[in-house]
Amino acid sequence: MKRWEMDAPGRARLRLNTVAIPEPGPGEVLVKVAAVSLNYRDKQAIESGGGPAMKFPFTPASDLAGVVTGLGAGVTRFAVGDKVLSTFSPGRLDGPGHGSARVAPYVMLGGTHPGVLAEFVAFPADWFVRAPDTLDAAEASTLPCAGLTAWTALVEYGPVRPGQTVLVQGTGGVALFGLQLARAQGADVIVISGSDEKLARAKALGATHVIHREREDWVEAVYRLTADRGVDHILELVGGAHLGRSLEAVALHGRISVIGVFEGFTVTGSSIPLLLKEPTIRGINVGHRRGLEELVRAVDRLGLKPVIDTRYPLADLPAALEHLDRGPFGKVVVESR
């Protein structure tokens, strides 16, 4: 079978090797990978390493949709033929995951654990959930990280009430899931982008309002669009000092879910709106397996279709990564076909 492997960090070290199909050990399932959804984090892991626990040869990526083709001893959770998704943080079934104040939980496929850019993987059965019935493999592969991150923010932690306003920054994978899930909960959604074309597509996808970030100050635009009331829930996908702008835009007792780190790893903002408006700020670490199971059910019930910008064959991973560099509208997926 084929598997992408690297012997050192750096995009140039990616090789599509031919290796033996793995054997599922006790408690494991063998899964034939149908599609892998790429995340911004995968680019970072490929370029600069997946963290201190990274081992070489390293296979990147965390989010797969596939079919169970073999069962290790003692597996009852799945049967051969079941369509499945991987979970981003292996072993995090519910709650905050394993870790402490000093050593925070940081485990993921294609990082601290092996990745999924391969034709087959053999992992513990507990690391998978059943795939939705209504999506093809490429669509389904976008749920474990991008979909679940938006779900954790908007449903698990921050239920959104009908009539509230949600704001998403940009039109990447988490942003568009946020747009779709917020609309499904009856909220108005504001999308910010620097591209007229992307704003038009966001509008077509259901955005209530769009703001071109270079044409006007987005916080002033929020005040205008909400009659000064502000935004009830912001998906803070930029990070860094941008949190300060979100604190200006947030409504009284609103919520800011911190997800992105594009503007650096130090968040800053003014105490004044934080103290006076009493918003809740919470970081989002993707989510747990129960959340992914709930998202799968919701996707089937809602008929929600994840937005895929482009699908690439497995061998074209380099082109897919270059697409990620350019900033896709929604997700970039690599398919085994």
Enumerate residues 47-106 that contact a copy of itself by CB under 8 A. Answer: 93-97, 99-106
* Dihedral sign of CA atoms 73, 107, 89, 262 in order: negative
Give the phi and the psi of residue 87 in degrees, each rounded to 5.
Answer: -105, 140
Interstrand relation of 231-236 and 250-258 (parallel, antiparallel or unpaired): parallel
- Figure out which of the listed residues 68, 148, 205, 231 binds a copy of itself, where binding follows CB under 8 A: 231
Binding pattern for the stretch 185-214 against a copy of itself, x by CB under 8 A and - elsewhere = xxxx-------------------x------
Distance CA 205, CA 220 (A): 24
Q: Which is nearer to a copy of itself, 17 or 280 (CB)?
A: 280
Least Å from the CB of residue 201 to a copy of itself: 22
Least distance to a copy of itself from the beta carbon of 114, Å?
Answer: 20
The residue among 80 and 252 lying less far from a copy of itself, judged by its C-beta, is 252
Q: Count the site residues for a copy of itself by CB under 8 A.
A: 75
- Choose the stretch contacting a copy of itself; rule: CB under 8 A; options: 75-83, 136-144, 270-278, 310-318: 270-278
Binding mask 100-139 for a copy of itself (x = CB under 8 A): xxxxxxx---------------------------------
Q: Smaller CB distance to a copy of itself: residue 10 or 264?
A: 264
The answer to whether residue 147 forms part of the interface with a copy of itself (CB under 8 A) is: no
User: Which are the contacts of 287, defined by CB distance < 8 A and separation ≥ 6?
Assistant: 88, 89, 148, 149, 151, 152, 156
Nearer to a copy of itself, 56 or 262 (CB): 262
Q: Name residues whose C-beta falls within 8 Å of residue 251's C-beta, 6 or more positions apart in sequence.
A: 165, 226, 229, 230, 231, 232, 277, 279
Query: What does the longest C-alpha to C-alpha distance in the chain come to?
Result: 62
Residue 16 to residue 107: CA distance in whole angstroms: 25
- Token pair for residue 253? 């007792």
Which residues from 245-264 bind a copy of itself, rule CB under 8 A? 248-254, 258-259, 261, 264
Q: Note whether 111 and 89 are within 8 A (CB).
A: no
CA 46 – CA 6 distance, rounded (Å): 8
Task: Write each residue from 292 to 311 as x if it is in contact with a copy of itself (CB under 8 A), else as -, in one continuous string.
Answer: --xx-xxxxxx---------
Least distance between a copy of itself and beta carbon 248 (Å)? 7
Which run of H or E residues covers position 219?
A: helix 218-225
Specify the stretch interacting with a copy of itself by CB under 8 A; choose among 55-63, 268-276, 316-324, 327-335.
Answer: 268-276
Contact 218, 193 (CB under 8 A): no
Two tokens, residue 155:
């449903």
Q: Which is nearer to a copy of itself, 12 or 93 (CB)?
A: 93
Give dist(CA 117, CA 138) in Å, integer.
13
Judged by CB under 8 A, the stretch of 5-13, 123-131, 168-176, 271-279 that binds a copy of itself is 271-279
